[in-house]
Chains A and B, each alone.
Chain A
Amino acid sequence: MIQDIATLIRKEWKEVVFHRGGGRQSWISMLILLGLLGVYLPYLNGTDWLQNPMALFTWAWVPLFMTIGLVTDAFAGERERHTLETLLATRLSDASILFGKIAASVLYAWSISTSCAVLAAITINVTFPNNGAFQFYAPAMFFGGLAAVLLIAILISSIGVFVSLNAATVRQAYQKLNLAIMAVWLIPFILLQTFPDKVQSLFMKVAPVLDAKLPLIIGSVFAILIVLDAMALLLAKKRFKRTRLILE
């Protein structure tokens, strides 16, 4: 199954991201992102970039943008280009096709995030040298950041593939996924606004206490992300039915 997933990843990258005609655009977007997150912002922030946990949040946004194009194309694109039935008629198992599609976008986003992080460290070392000593992120921050990116990429990719499975065209999938992502980000803020003032002020009082318990909070966020990832993967797996896809 690993070999089949690798085949699917290779195919997705070649066909959707780096295909001739559209490949140059993909390279340019990738270079812009690397330039922005790997050179320009670290240069502006100086050595703070390697110590400030906000950098972690910057990385976490990256997969969001990098996966959308790839995941929306996953099934809706195959359907639109009339290649889905041929793919389903191959020896590939359901799991290989589904997880291959998800893995293609997860790895794409994750590798760009990692490259940005490493490039940022190189930029800082070149522009703000510290007497020859190599400067890098704190291990917990670096590995925690990469793990967060991975979990977020899995979540978005799984939701994206689910949306793509249900969309007739790539455009439709793109619109649906954007709405879903907007809902995920906006609903907590909207819900918060609906609470009475008393409850809202209680949140504000608790905030400094929470700051002191940052590791616990980060741990909880990771646990929630893992649960959400598992749920999104299961949802996508449940929706993937060859016999249903062939008729859509």
Chain B
Amino acid sequence: MTSGTISISTNDLHCEFGEVHAVDGITFEVQTGTLFGFLGPNGAGKTTTIRLLLGLLEPSSGSAQVLGYDTRTQADQIRLHCGALLEQNGLYERLSAEENLDLFGRIWHIPAERRAQRIQELLEKMDLYERRKETVNSWSRGMKQKLAVVRTLMHNPQLVFLDEPTDGLDPVAAASLREDLVDLARQHGVTVFLTTHNLSEAEKICDQVAVINKGKLLTVGSPDELRLQKSAHSIIVVGRGFNEALLAELRTFPDVEKVELQDRHLVVYFKQETDSGNLVQFLAAKDVMIDEVRKGKASLEEAFLSLLEEQA
């Protein structure tokens, strides 16, 4: 697989449990070597989608291909080439960290010498090597999570599914893991399919994001596209000389939806895309000292919440 090819492709994928539509006709593609963020609230269908893509569940209808293999008929091949960190870390807590990794190395038929090297390399990278002989049940949640991520990468998979990988990690470890994930995708061409509640994390590292809620895919695109798509038409003016009378006058303008003053930041929300020139002229005429004018841009979190509100 090389960059430019498709690692995951779903077509009108459905998964029903009785009356519940856990996944309701989702269609999307994930490019090879990219970090794909799959965002959604609890119970949105993220984990079910991962299970469908790993061939652990059969879709009710529709189809999906992972690394060119059909999830219904070639699930063994998919699992051979993928790594997965699912909802639970899945570590054998009575075994040591080294034994856990050794087990998964054996499962993927990694030769003994290479297995030992790989275990050392991965544990050192995560600062866990010194404690490799300890049973995992004595470890903190963050350390276990790090080990679970490492285990996922043990066999150098082409594609990794990570369900909330930074959950339980301290900020430093989370940042380090994010760097590693970016490195995996950029340097090694590994495709990363990541679910997260942490939208700023998705914003920082994902090339593409998809938003799912109640089993339905609400949007797919780059974080920038999503932010722009859902950005309110707002203009932010930084300066001095704002007063209540000025704000009240602005609110009477027919194309103005809302006006807010936050510290020295005046935020004017328009009903549609508007040129900032008229606003600047108006403010200058009212003796406002303007330091900076810029167009408002929604954060990914705002865009995400806006999408969920629209669906509701």
Contacts and interface: CB of A to CB of B under 8 A. Distances in A.
B80 interface: yes
A20 interface: yes
Interface in A74-95: 81-83, 85-93
B95 A89 contact: no
Contacts of A82: 88-90
Nearest to A4: B107
Interface secondary structure of B, over-half rule: loop
A82 to B, nearest CB: 4
Contacts of A20: 94, 135
Contact of B90 (A3, A86, A93, A247): A86
B14 to A, nearest CB: 15
B79 A91 contact: yes
Nearest to B92: A15
Interface stretch (A6-14, A52-60, A210-218): A6-14
Interface residues of A, number: 27
A243 interface: yes
A154 to B, nearest CB: 24
Interface string B50-61: 010011111000
A219 interface: no
Contacts of A246: 51, 56-57
A242 interface: yes
A11 B94 CA distance: 11
Nearest to A83: B90
Given A7-B103, A21-B135, A87 B90 contact: yes
Contact of A11 (B54, B87, B103, B109): B103
A21 B134 CA distance: 12
Given A81-B93, A242-B56, A243-B56, A89 B79 contact: yes
A22 interface: yes
Given A86-B88, A91-B76, A243-B58, A19 B94 contact: yes
Contacts of B106: 7, 10
B225 to A, nearest CB: 31
Contacts of B58: 243
Contacts of A90: 79, 104, 107-108
Nearest to B105: A7
B63 to A, nearest CB: 16
Interface in A1-45: 3-4, 7, 10-11, 14-15, 19-22
Contacts of B56: 85, 88-89, 242-243, 246
Query: Interface size class for chain B?
Result: 20 to 34
B107 A91 contact: yes
Nearest to B86: A85
Nearest to B99: A14
B86 A21 contact: no
A131 to B, nearest CB: 50
B91 interface: yes
Contacts of A81: 92-93
B84 interface: yes
Q: Chain B CB within 10 Å — which of A3, A81, A93 has the most?
A: A81
A26 B114 CA distance: 32
Contacts of A88: 56
Interface string B200-214: 000000000000000
Contacts of B108: 90-91
A83 B91 contact: yes
Contacts of A247: 17, 57
Given A243-B57, A246-B56, A89 B86 contact: yes
Nearest to A245: B56
B103 A3 contact: no
Contacts of A10: 103, 106
A86 B95 contact: no
A21 B93 CA distance: 12
B234 to A, nearest CB: 44
A89 B92 contact: no
A170 to B, nearest CB: 13
B57 A19 contact: no
A15 B104 CA distance: 14
A141 B88 CA distance: 50
A88 B95 CA distance: 19
A86 B84 contact: yes
Closest 9 CB pairs of A and B: A86-B90, A82-B88, A19-B94, A91-B80, A89-B84, A7-B106, A246-B56, A91-B79, A83-B90
22 contacts: A3-B109, A4-B107, A7-B103, A10-B106, A14-B95, A14-B99, A15-B95, A19-B94, A21-B94, A82-B90, A83-B92, A85-B87, A85-B90, A86-B86, A88-B56, A89-B54, A89-B56, A89-B84, A90-B107, A91-B79, A91-B107, A93-B76
Interface of B: 17, 51, 54-58, 76, 79-80, 84, 86-95, 99, 103-104, 106-109, 135
